[in-house]
């Protein structure tokens, strides 16, 4: 379902070329749950952003569900991403002046749903993540863990088949981290493909398989089974 074929990414930094990803060949199957691990600066987030259609490669192809992302126009790619891919970031990216329910309504509004449908779906999603009593709270009125759960609810608004998570537990305490990973487990059991960048070994071990990067090089293009059984 997710495939990279000879993908590289280089940047120019202070008149020098920097290679963030080097000739990556990666295969991830539908319904997989993959953790991406490696030292800081090894190319993990670069790989994730390219899988999500957010960062064009210097060379190679990125295939998602049979579609070559970077052979599309930017508008086609944005439409494909909106329909098929959800993102979870360490920084949450919530709109600070909107309430929890309004934040979750954003993708539903962009999808053209009427206001009553937006509100109903957003309410149900927030209830699912345990925030039915925080619907009208703004991000500044929520704990860090609650903000991440709002972000998770928003990810689900368009029912994506693929969820890409970049350090989803990075700002969280151990108990809240466990709740977030439990929720990702649940989403994977529903058939969604989960790809997660993480420095947290406990989070990485919850995935079904692991992809390892060092200095921009993918050490194992087919994700290896995790040491601890999933679930």
Q: What domains can you pick out in the chain, each with its CATH number?
A: 30-53+73-220 (3.40.50.300)
Q: Once rounded to an integer, what is the mean pLDDT over residues 83-100?
A: 91
Tokens for 41? 């600066």
pTM for the whole structure? 0.89
Which pLDDT score, from 0 to 100, does residue 223 have? 55
pLDDT band per the 50, 70, 90 thresholds, residue 41: confident
Helix (H, G, I), strand (E, B) or coil at 132: coil
Helix (H, G, I), strand (E, B) or coil at 39: coil
Which pLDDT score, from 0 to 100, does residue 87 have? 92
Which pLDDT score, from 0 to 100, does residue 126 have? 95
Which backbone phi and psi does 21 adopt, to 5 degrees? -145, 135
CA atoms within 13 A on the CB side of 114: 2
CA dist 123 → 127, 145, 159, 230 (Å) = 6, 18, 15, 30
Average pLDDT of the chain is: 89
Using one digit for the tens of pLDDT, what is the confidence trace for 165-195? 999 988 788 888 888 899 999 999 999 999 9
Which pLDDT score, from 0 to 100, does residue 47 have? 94
Nearest one of 181, 166, 215, 196 to 38, comparing CA atoms:
215
Which pLDDT score, from 0 to 100, does residue 51 have? 94
Whether the Cβ atoms of residue 168 and residue 90 lie closer than 8 Å to each other: yes
230 has pLDDT over 80 = no
221 has pLDDT over 70 = no
């Amino acid at each position: 379902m997710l495939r990279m074929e000879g993908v590289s990414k280089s940047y120019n930094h202070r008149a020098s070329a920097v290679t963030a990803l080097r000739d990556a060949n990666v295969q991830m199957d539908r319904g997989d749950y993959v953790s991406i691990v490696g030292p800081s600066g090894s190319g993990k987030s670069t790989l994730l952003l390219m899988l999500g259609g957010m960062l064009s490669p210097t060379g190679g192809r990125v295939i998602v569900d049979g579609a070559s992302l970077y052979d599309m126009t930017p508008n086609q790619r944005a439409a494909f991403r909106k329909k098929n891919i959800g993102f979870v970031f360490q920084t949450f990216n919530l709109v600070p002046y909107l309430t929890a329910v309004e934040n979750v309504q954003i993708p539903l509004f962009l999808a053209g749903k009427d206001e009553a449908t937006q509100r109903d779906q957003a309410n149900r999603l927030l209830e699912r993540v345990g925030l039915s009593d925080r619907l009208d709270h703004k991000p500044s009125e929520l704990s860090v863990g609650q903000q991440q759960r709002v972000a998770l609810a928003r990810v689900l608004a368009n029912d994506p088949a693929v969820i890409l998570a970049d350090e989803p537990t990075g700002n969280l305490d151990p108990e809240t981290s466990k709740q977030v990973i439990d929720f990702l487990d649940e989403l994977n059991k529903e058939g969604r493909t989960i790809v997660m960048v993480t420095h947290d070994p406990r989070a990485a071990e919850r995935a079904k398989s692991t992809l390892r990067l060092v200095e921009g090089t993918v050490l194992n293009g087919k994700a290896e089974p995790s040491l601890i059984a999933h679930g």
